[in-house]
Amino acid sequence: MTDDPQQKHLDNLRQWRNFKAKDVSMDFLNPWFKNQVTKPFKQLKGIGEVWANGVPPEILAKSRLERYSRGTLTVTVDSSATLYELDRLLRSGLQQELTQASRPASLNRIKLVVGQIK
């Protein structure tokens, strides 16, 4: 190497430009996303299909699958009248179909709650 000042300057610039940058990506969200979104989505996939096919459109518009946790599916409905109709549907065989569709996750209970449907 020579003692050329321009070459020294270029070498210094190369060292400065090749620094290790801090990781500013969103990769830290990956484990959280798998636990909070991907896994429940896989569990609800079969249930959602049976729900959409088994529930009449007028009740479907007034209800929403809220969440699935520890074998309990929470369904929010807009009124007590809808809750009653949905309860009758579940007792007449829809709950059995949903339980079969939830395999390998085991659906034990369906909890109906009156609330706001957005």
User: Which range marks the domain in which residue 59 is found?
Assistant: 34-114
Residue 7 included in any domain: no
The pLDDT profile of the chain, 118 residues, written as one tens digit per residue, is 567 889 888 888 887 776 666 666 777 777 877 777 777 677 677 788 888 888 999 999 999 988 888 888 899 999 999 999 999 999 999 888 888 877 766 788 999 999 998 7
Residue 64 included in any domain: yes
Domain count, the chain: 1
Q: What residues have CB less than 8 Å from 102, skipping those under 6 apart?
A: 43, 46, 47, 73
Output the pTM of the full model. 0.63
Coil, strand, or helix at residue 109? Answer: strand
Tell me, what CATH number does 91's domain have?
3.30.300
